[in-house]
Structure 1
Amino acid sequence: MTEHGQDQGAFRAAAARLVAARHPHALGALLGGSAAHGRATASSDLDVAVLLPDRGHSGREVVRHEGRVAELFLNTVADLPEFFAWDRARRRGTVLFLYDRGVPLADPHGHVARTRELARQVLASGPAPLTPQEREYGRYALTCYVDDLVDLTTPGDVSDRTEPAGRYEQLSVADHVLREAAHLPTAHHHAWTGVGKWLPRRLLEADPVLGAALLRGHRTVAERADPAPLAAAARQVLDLLGGPLREGYAHRWTP
């Protein structure tokens, strides 16, 4: 049973009813996320991948179904190769993982099975590597954020370490440091990245030691207003990619 008091079969049945109601001509569908694997909570949504005939339209829909928010990831069969390439290029693989780990709801003609196999092949190839421009921008951006984070340090207890506005700035900059620093080592290790709750999960999978140092450092800023551990961990990330980058960085804008 899940926290919400419903078993996986109930979630699958609800997702199947949703697909039948909104996309009766679907070629197949599967349920992903926590609802598919017994980890759903009272606020968990339904993540449903839906395969449509080529006369349909790829996209995303967010609806409320039987009292629960549901997010439908819609793809036509013809769009799938290009869409999977796009999902790989952004290095998150959101829909790729949905097909890889989801539970089939209906697959009368084998389209879902073939799509899952394609998703697994793309996942096995790993995310797209950083381009030289992305790599240099990442070094430059993280260097700037670390400089800002260190500049916001003042002595004292948490209660009076900074003026309120400065403390808010410190927390905001710490968030940027963590996001940029997490993105770079995952790319360096040719691993998938993520956002939200998936950022720490993917980071720890890619580099358990450095990932843990970054996450502990971020927590230390939040709890004690001390940026030193996070700054130190971020500098280790920079060392992986060639060190800090300030003067000498250049970017040409192309309209």
Structure 2
Amino acid sequence: MNPTILERAVASARAFVSEFHPEAAAAALAGSIPAGRGTDTSDLDVVIYYADRTANYAETLRYDGWLVESFVYGPEGIEEWFAKEAGLRRPVALDMWATGLPLMGEDAANQLRDAARAILDAGPTPLDPHQGDDLRYGLTAAIDDLRGNTDPGEALAVMADVFVRSGELLLLANNSWLGTGKWLVRRLGSVDRPEATDLVGWARSAERSGDELCRVASSVLESTGGALQEGHVRGRRDAHAKGGS
């Protein structure tokens, strides 16, 4: 990344916070730019914390030539989001505070960074057996849909479904956090498993064939307990129903 992109981003982000949130206790620049993935088309992800007021919202503005996504929290709001994301195993605010570059209120920003990192370092809540079975069942069904599909438009949608299901099952089975969109690929890139390498390789391939994705997805299933269809029960079944215990 051209270092001037980071320099310009930090200067603009600091000016944005000074103009729109001068009374905030802390602010940090997060997202692709501090991570070294920024480009001239990147937006600015700015997290903002007020210690003395209720706040829990996101706002998109145009400022100094940048599209600025600001995420604003008060004490209750940030606790709510940290707990919610940990429960969903899908960190967003946690990631932003854990990796963000402080813009103001460095002591408060560092405290929030440490709190977020502690949650992230502990890892996501492990899957219980039923959750794992549900994920395997869903991926098995999606692979079958892809193998039997002859419509190019439908196949594209099913391939996306198979990729996401494969990635999420593999991540959770390996005690890794989930990610959405490009963050799914980035999280898979940090998993030291051949199935993860193959999934990322498929995503980056120019061809992205359905047959190859079925092969990779099937290997994910094998590494996490195997395909699952017959006999799987989703939800709660009346114990007196046929087949109940």
Shorter-chain TM-score tier: 0.7 to 0.9
Aligned residues: 237
Partner of residue 182, structure 2 = 197
Cα displacement (A) at 1:240 = 2.7
Deviation, 1:140, is: 1.3
Which of 77, 80, 84 is matched with 2:78 structurally? 80
- The equivalent position to 2:217 in structure 1, one of 234, 238, 242, is 234
What's 1:150 paired with?
147
The 5 Å alignment of 1:62-73 reads 62-73=60-71
Matches within 5 A, 1:86-165: 86-107=84-105, 110-152=107-149
2:207 counterpart of 1:223: yes
Question: Distance in 1 between the 2:115 and 2:11 partners?
Answer: 26
Paired amino acid for 1:250: V
Q: Is the 8 A contact 1:181 1:237 kept in 2?
A: yes
SS in 2 for 1:47: strand
1:73 is paired with a residue of what secondary structure?
A: strand
SS at 2:33 equivalent: helix
- Preserved CA contact (<8 Å) 1:139 1:238: yes
TM-score, normalised by the number of residues in structure 1: 0.83
The 1:133–1:57 alpha-carbon spacing in structure 2 relative to 1, beyond 3 Å, is farther
* Letter matched to residue 161 of structure 2: H
Asked whether the equivalents of residues 123 and 175 of structure 2 are also in contact (C-alpha less than 8 Å), the reply is yes
How far did 1:177 drift? 0.5
Specify every segment of 5 or more residues in structure 1 that has no aligned partner in the other structure, as ranges: 153-161
AA partner of residue 85 (structure 2): D
Contact kept? 2:29, 2:101, Cα under 8 Å: yes
Q: Give deviations 1:159-216, integer Å, cap 9, x for gaps.
A: xxx5xxx112112111110000000111011012212222112112124411122234
1:112 CA displacement: 1.1
Q: CA RMSD in A?
A: 2.4
Instruction: Say whether the 8 Å CA contact 1:33–1:46 is kept in structure 2.
Output: yes
Instruction: Pick closer, same or farther for the CA change 1:74–1:253 going to 2, 3 Å.
Output: farther
Q: Contact (CA 8 Å) 2:171, 2:177: kept in 1 or not?
A: yes
Deviations 1:90-146 (A, max 9, x none): 2232222212221110116x2111111111111110122224443222111101110
Percentage of matched positions with identical amino acids: 34
**8 Å Cα contact 2:48/2:72 also seen in 1:** yes
Distance in 2 (CA, whole Å) between partners of 1:95 and 1:33 is: 10
Aligned partners of 2:5 and 2:39 also within 8 Å: no
How far apart, in 2, do the equivalents of 1:37 and 1:204 lie? 15
| 1:145 partner letter | A
For the 8 Å contact 2:26–2:50, the answer to whether it is kept is: yes
1:180 maps to 165
Q: Which runs of 4+ in 1 moved over 6 A?
A: none
Structure 1: distance between partners of 2:164 and 2:204: 13
